[in-house]
Chains A and B, each alone.
Chain A
Amino acid sequence: MATHSEINESLQAFTENFNKNDRLKLMNKDWNRVVVVKATDIESVHTWILKNGVLKLNDGLTDDPDLTVISDSETLTDVFYGDLTPIEPYNNGTLRIIGTEDDITRLDFICLMMWGE
């Protein structure tokens, strides 16, 4: 089981990588979304706000989400550090994402571009 701060660090790492990647920022400049990341086994909720191609991470629930990513703390930490492809836990039911199909696919595309296959 990972801790809240470990999840936070993985999300921070993801946020930094996203904001350092000019291509990703440009590609997502019109995709303004609120993404909530919630752990199932510990008390841990984070809110990502993507606006004009810039990603900002908030601790806790700060806005109504377009997308909600739900999983256990270990899976969330591994996925957002890029050690685990999100599609694997998604397809085996460990990771759940609530939102439109297009938004879910876009989130996976971002992970693919950031971490590769």
Chain B
Amino acid sequence: MQLKRVLTLRTIVATSAGLTLASSSFVAAVMAANYVLGDSAWIAILIGGALCFMAAACFSELNGLLPTAAGIRLYFSRAFNDQVSLVVSLLYMLVVVIGVVGVESYILSKVLNEAFPAIPPYFWIVVMLLLVTALNLRGVKIAGVFQDVATYSLIAVILFLGLYALYNVDFKLNAPMSPGSAEGMINAVALGVFLFVGFEWVTPLVEEVTQVKQISRGMMIALGILSVVYAVFTVAMTATVPKEILIASPAPQLVFARTVLGDFGTPLMIVIILATSLKTFNAGIISVSRFMYASAREHVLPAVFSKISMRYFTPWVSIITLFFIGLLASGLTLLTDRYQVLVGLAAAMESIVYTMAGLSVISLRRRMPQQERPYLIKGGYLIPGVTALVFALLAVAVLASDPSALLYMSVAFVVVLIYVKTAVPRIKKKYEAGKPAARRRPVRSQENTEGK
């Protein structure tokens, strides 16, 4: 028995890297560079990448043990309990959607406004969100090969631009191992983690491959490529443009491209920003709308979110709801100019999820010791333990250094917790009350079952 369609390693790497590569990644890279001295941002980025390797190893073990598109919803449910799993999954979706959409749309609108000053920035946000929403409502998917070519081309252009800039300034590392204070380094590493946000969103593809290990390999390769690309590009940015100018810009990559390539740099970087943001919006809406649909089918979100388009087979209520959430998040970000808080918020949330992934590996090894594991992390509890500990520290570091991020995270947590404790039981009760009294399965079958 063989599946007719299977994904190749090339597509898995492209998907993992593509989900991670966002316009906001460069903002986080510059924020990380700002925490360390001189040109040592690459150290923080490579450490961030190495830590994500450990998290990827944990996700690989979980994914092999429980191969499902439900991902963390199932891992955490088995490792802890259903309520913990639900709270974290809902919080994760909420924070990452608001964080990533808010920052991406902010950057995009500012960049396009710079290119076309007569058009107000919010107009671009509405246009982009409308475009992605329309594509999703109609169920239009970008062809696999095209997506692979686009992602690899994007990575190649970014790497080339970084290397070209370093060559141009005749770059030499100054005091390469002197990043400054430990506190600055910890914050830089935490923001470095944000650069890789989303690499694990490739795990739902486990149902489209013949070998579970391909997902692990794909994630690791993507992380390796991105670590090098981000490190080179960030060092190139800080070597070419003063840090204070980069940090003051919502699109430091645009300032950098203009400095390196002159007039040609602006349109090239606008195309790159447009491509990365569109891709990020699209991936976000696809993943989160499916999550909302599944949650509604599971009776943890109101049933209205499971409504589907009879024509295109897409969860239209979830998609349109996300459109309005996106509009609100980006509108508030544009109004307050506080996009950097969202970067910290998303980095902290991602760190919390990686902490729980490490703890889940430990818990499930105890709860399901006999279950087959196609991917088993070597070295006993060392890597999952270190992953849990380090990411917990990073989450604390990010939230402690940014009181606004801590406040927003606390409010979101309380809201989700209250929802799970009060609204979810009501939705489930309503569903149970509406269920047909008699089962459709013939009684004979049930008697047979009892007899066995």
- Chain A residues within 8 Å of B, Cβ to Cβ: 1-3, 6, 9-10, 13, 23, 27, 34, 36, 61, 64-66, 68, 74, 77-78, 81-83, 85, 87-88, 90-93, 96-102, 104-106, 108-109, 112-113, 117
Contacts and interface: CB of A to CB of B under 8 A. Distances in A.
A101 B208 contact: yes
Interface string B365-394: 000000000000000000000000000000
B77 A65 contact: no
Contact of A99 (B78, B207, B448): B207
Interface of B: 1-5, 66-70, 73-74, 77-78, 139, 141, 204-205, 207-208, 290, 293-294, 297-298, 303, 306, 308, 310, 313, 431, 434, 439-442, 445, 448-449, 452
B5 A66 contact: yes
B70 A109 contact: no
B139 to A, nearest CB: 8
B67 A64 contact: no
B284 to A, nearest CB: 15
A77 B441 contact: yes
Contacts of A93: 66, 68, 70, 74, 78
6 closest residue pairs by CB, A with B = A87-B297, A81-B441, A81-B440, A83-B439, A6-B445, A91-B70
Contacts, number: 103
Nearest to A108: B297
Contacts of A6: 445, 448
Given A92-B74, A112-B308, A117-B303, A100 B208 contact: yes
Contacts of A100: 5, 207-208
Given A99-B207, A101-B207, A104-B69, A10 B441 contact: yes
A83 B73 contact: no
Contacts of B4: 34, 64-66
Contacts of B207: 96-101, 104
Contacts of A92: 74, 77
A98 B448 CA distance: 30
A87 B205 CA distance: 17
Contact of B313 (A83, A88, A109): A109
